[in-house]
A and B are shown apart, each in its own frame.
Chain A
Amino acid sequence: MHAALEIKNVTHKFGEFKALDKVSININPGDFTVLLGLNGAGKTTLYSLITRLYNNNTGSIKIHNFNVRENSSNALKNIGVVFQQPTLDLDLSVEENLHYHSALHGISTVDASSRISEEIGRIDLNDKLKSKVRSLSGGQRRRVEIARSLLHRPKLLLLDEPTVGLDIGSRQMILKHVKALCKKGDLAVLWATHLIDEIDKGEKVVIIHNGKILESGDVSKVIKKTKQKNIREAFNKLVGIKT
């Protein structure tokens, strides 16, 4: 079976500044992997390379064995993305936004309608389908973005700090929803965050700092390797935060 996401030796520079330095990550189908790093660690740059918003000139990025550089169309078909910055059109309704996304993936209107009602039901926002996005709360908008990212049935879901700026209730609801999606099927998730409390035991973590991967693997393995009591202490030790 192919890896859901296979990144090998990817380096990316902005002028002289090296934003990513020989990054390699492997995510299998069904994995919930947390990409943990401080602000400016290189998480968003990595996401931009995976989604082809930036061209990667070094190493390789494969999604279900489709190289993003050489076979971008097939690679992108398999990715669902929730960007750090909200990307819904505020002037359109929830339904119109979701139909627009479906069209961008070539899904017919009939298929899109049934998928929209399924996904919107899953996030419990049936009553907001006809509402303008502008009238939704931050948490509701995020849930709509997650529903949108799943409409084309991707095999890899990328979320870039999806809970930033949300209250505790909305954060927990979104986290629980995505983790449940991951458990149900073969959907692989790469969840970028700087919030350590979003990581549970038994999950996989990739710690990134100043563009380099410092450690990766099961949470328990990382804790053991760094000889710390929990993942927070392990992270602090790796990135050099003194407590």
Chain B
Amino acid sequence: MKLIIYFRCFKGIVLREALRFVHQKERFFSALVRPLVWLGIFAAGFRSVLGVAIIPPYETYIPYEVYIAPGLIAMIQLFNGMQSSLSMVYDREMGSMKTMLVSPIPRWFLLCSKLFAGVFVSILQVYAFLIIASLWGIIPPISGYITILPALVVSGLMLGALGMFLSSAIKQLENFAGVMNFVIFPMFFASSALYPLWKIEETSEWLYYVCFLQSFYLCC
């Protein structure tokens, strides 16, 4: 099969995911509101409670909002990965997955394209968040907007792949609420998204190692 056919297929899958995201205005809105609530309310409340020592890569003391910004970016990708997973379960239940499966293009390629499409959508959300976050004074160097991109692709792929794995394990749409309780929240809280891991180490060494080894920490 010619390379151009694969490219057209890839483009079609990415475009479909992007169009779905744009058409579902509530999804776009909630994807932005979630991290902004953390940034605007949670961070405002906790900045006086949590003192963050100087830790790499920062060379000086930083406001708490700046500290949690990378964690919130990872949170956007985490939720997007789970959203893609939910969307796959929905597609499977509603039947639209069949359209894809009867394509003559090999299934491994369709799956990879679907994964990259999810990553693409998550990157759109992250940049929209960064633009709004600049209103809170979170302004990285201009080059930072470019150098973050490869990291976003890698972390998006990892979290998207996790979402795909979950969608293969979840048989019914109703079971998806369990994912929130047993996957998203533990992953998010057992990471350095909201507090540096040394703070956890001071309290519990084994919990520190759990946090250190779990995948979401790597994204933060």
Residue positions of A touching B, CB distance < 8 A: 51-53, 72-74, 76-77, 79, 81, 83, 85-89, 91-92, 96, 99-109, 132
0/1 interface trace, chain B 1-26, chain A, CB 8 Å (1 if under): 11011101101110110011001100
**Among all A-B residue pairs, the 5 with the closest Cβ atoms:** A103-B12, A106-B5, A85-B95, A104-B103, A76-B104
Docked CA distance A109–B96 (Å): 21
Query: Least Cβ distance of B128 to chain A in Å?
Result: 20
When distances are taken between beta carbons in the complex, the residues of chain B under 8 Å from A51 are 98, 101-102
Instruction: Establish whether residues A103 and B8, one from each chain, have CB atoms under 8 Å apart when the complex forms.
Output: yes
Instruction: Establish whether residues A103 and B15, one from each chain, have CB atoms under 8 Å apart when the complex forms.
Output: yes
0/1 interface trace, chain B 66-92, chain A, CB 8 Å (1 if under): 000000000000000000000000000
Instruction: Establish whether residues B99 and A73, one from each chain, have CB atoms under 8 Å apart when the complex forms.
Output: no
Q: Is B50 an interface residue (CB 8 A)?
A: no
- The chain A residue sitting closest to B27, CB to CB, is A91
Instruction: Establish whether residues A83 and B103, one from each chain, have CB atoms under 8 Å apart when the complex forms.
Output: no
Of the candidates B102, B105, B110, the one whose C-beta lies within 8 Å of that of A81 is B102
Query: Least Cβ distance of B136 to chain A in Å?
Result: 32
Query: Least Cβ distance of B92 to chain A in Å?
Result: 11
Instruction: Establish whether residues B98 and A83, one from each chain, have CB atoms under 8 Å apart when the complex forms.
Output: yes
Instruction: Establish whether residues B106 and A73, one from each chain, have CB atoms under 8 Å apart when the complex forms.
Output: yes
Chain B's interface size range is 20 to 34
With contact pairs A87-B98, A92-B19 given, residues A103 and B13 touching in the complex (Cβ less than 8 Å) = yes
Instruction: Establish whether residues B8 and A89, one from each chain, have CB atoms under 8 Å apart when the complex forms.
Output: no
Docked CA distance A86–B101 (Å): 15
Tally of A-B Cβ pairs under 8 angstroms: 89
Instruction: Establish whether residues B8 and A108, one from each chain, have CB atoms under 8 Å apart when the complex forms.
Output: yes
- The chain A residue sitting closest to B4, CB to CB, is A106
Docked CA distance A81–B95 (Å): 13
Instruction: Establish whether residues B8 and A106, one from each chain, have CB atoms under 8 Å apart when the complex forms.
Output: yes
Q: Is B94 an interface residue (CB 8 A)?
A: yes
Instruction: Establish whether residues A102 and B101, one from each chain, have CB atoms under 8 Å apart when the complex forms.
Output: no
Docked CA distance A87–B4 (Å): 26
Instruction: Establish whether residues A106 and B98, one from each chain, have CB atoms under 8 Å apart when the complex forms.
Output: no
Residue of A76, A102, A104, A105 contacting most chain B CB atoms (<10 Å) = A104
Of the candidates B8, B11, B24, B100, the one whose C-beta lies within 8 Å of that of A91 is B24
Instruction: Establish whether residues A106 and B105, one from each chain, have CB atoms under 8 Å apart when the complex forms.
Output: yes
Instruction: Establish whether residues A96 and B19, one from each chain, have CB atoms under 8 Å apart when the complex forms.
Output: yes
With contact pairs A53-B98, A104-B99 given, residues A92 and B105 touching in the complex (Cβ less than 8 Å) = no
17 extra interchain contacts, Cβ-Cβ under 8 A, other than A72-B104, A88-B96?
A: A51-B101, A52-B101, A53-B98, A73-B105, A81-B102, A86-B94, A89-B16, A91-B24, A96-B19, A100-B12, A100-B16, A103-B8, A104-B9, A104-B105, A105-B105, A106-B6, A108-B4
With contact pairs A91-B23, A92-B23, A96-B19 given, residues A102 and B98 touching in the complex (Cβ less than 8 Å) = no
When distances are taken between beta carbons in the complex, the residues of chain B under 8 Å from A104 are 9, 12-13, 99-100, 103, 105, 110
When distances are taken between beta carbons in the complex, the residues of chain B under 8 Å from A73 are 1, 104-106
Instruction: Establish whether residues B16 and A76, one from each chain, have CB atoms under 8 Å apart when the complex forms.
Output: no
Docked CA distance A242–B99 (Å): 39
Instruction: Establish whether residues B95 and A87, one from each chain, have CB atoms under 8 Å apart when the complex forms.
Output: yes
Instruction: Establish whether residues B101 and A106, one from each chain, have CB atoms under 8 Å apart when the complex forms.
Output: no
Instruction: Establish whether residues B102 and A76, one from each chain, have CB atoms under 8 Å apart when the complex forms.
Output: yes
Of the candidates A77, A85, A102, A106, the one whose C-beta lies within 8 Å of that of B94 is A85
Docked CA distance A77–B2 (Å): 14
Instruction: Establish whether residues A89 and B20, one from each chain, have CB atoms under 8 Å apart when the complex forms.
Output: yes
Query: Least Cβ distance of B55 to chain A in Å?
Result: 43
- The chain B residue sitting closest to A99, CB to CB, is B12
Query: Least Cβ distance of B19 to chain A in Å?
Result: 6
Query: Least Cβ distance of A223 to chain B in Å?
Result: 35
